[in-house]
Structure 1
């Protein structure tokens, strides 16, 4: 969903999701989502949000940015705010974030990049690298 399509109720639900998802990794990681804020740092431009009968199940956001590669400014999609509800971890739901690939193509970015905490590095590498979608 485009960021401007979200209503206050959506932000409240997402901020609760992020506090519960990021909280176990440290109170500092959950702090940005206090006060019904559903982003940390820059707001995403577009979000992929998966729901089930208990609410938000998975989320990833994207924001177009320019990064400097040598002397060239290159348009990329910064991927972030990745999370899977704790009760769904290990069930393969993370594969659903692949719905973002056609969206990134439509945004006209040559690639996406993201940073994750070291505990998630192997997970993300397996998820994307196995399909030849990322390195």
Structure 2
């Protein structure tokens, strides 16, 4: 890895406008097809995280980011507390350098500290092997429904099969309920 990265866990209320702008700039680079979401200080696409894991340079440039929020999802009719994990991004120039692995190790520490039963995330098909290598388990038959908001703020209900992943934290993977997943709102 060519750059020194300072890692930190930051609560949402401790972020400044400058922080949000730096996060948004990196997310726009990491997700170019979604860059219209990440303008100015808008550093989120759905639900705002409660905690963020940031990897920055000494001068504050954000190189890696994850957002986490505790929330309940309903799985097969049962409410389950999860650490919803999203906005996982690494600066394009550092992708493939091991920074993503370091980032996810820190995410695991945050989830452990939150003492949630499970970490939870929705992953694109091309990202599933990475998360699986990091200890997340996919439920490929699971169907998840959530509120997706457009950049203009209009909400639409989305249903997707596959890509729903869980990481046991204080509970056992075997205790994850079976059935459809209802996020009861937005994803992080």
* Residues 56-65 or 67-76, more deviating: 67-76
Structure 1 residue 102 and structure 2 residue 104: aligned? no
CA offset digits 1:39-84 (Å, max 9, x no partner): 0110001000011257211111101110112332111011000001
- Counterpart in 1 of 2:15? 6
- 2:27 pairs with 1:18: yes
Q: Does residue 35 in structure 1 map to residue 40 in structure 2?
A: yes
Q: Distance in 1 between matches of 2:30 and 2:108?
A: 23
Q: Name the one with the larger helix percent.
A: 1
Q: Which one of 80, 91, 100 corresponds to residue 97 of structure 2?
A: 91
Using the alignment, how far apart are the partners of 2:11 and 2:55 within structure 1? Answer: 14
Distance 1:59 1:45 in 2: 13
Distance (whole Å) between structure 2 residues aligned to residue 117 and residue 82 of structure 1: 11
Greater Rg by CA: 2
| Distance in 2 of aligned mates of 1:36 and 1:3 | 13
- Corresponding residue for residue 118 of structure 2: 111
**In the alignment, is residue 127 of structure 1 matched against residue 134 of structure 2?**
yes
Quick check: 43-52 or 95-104, which moved more?
A: 95-104
* Deviation for aligned residue 1:11: 0.5
Structure 1 residues 52 and 35: alpha-carbon distance in aligned structure 2, compared to 1, 3 A threshold: closer
C-alpha separation in 2, matches of 1:35 and 1:102: 30
- Runs of 4+ with >4 A deviation: none
How far apart are 1:8 and its partner, in Å?
A: 0.4
TM-score, normalised to structure 1, is 0.85
May I ask how many residue pairs the two structures share in their alignment?
A: 128
Q: Secondary structure at the match of 1:112?
A: strand
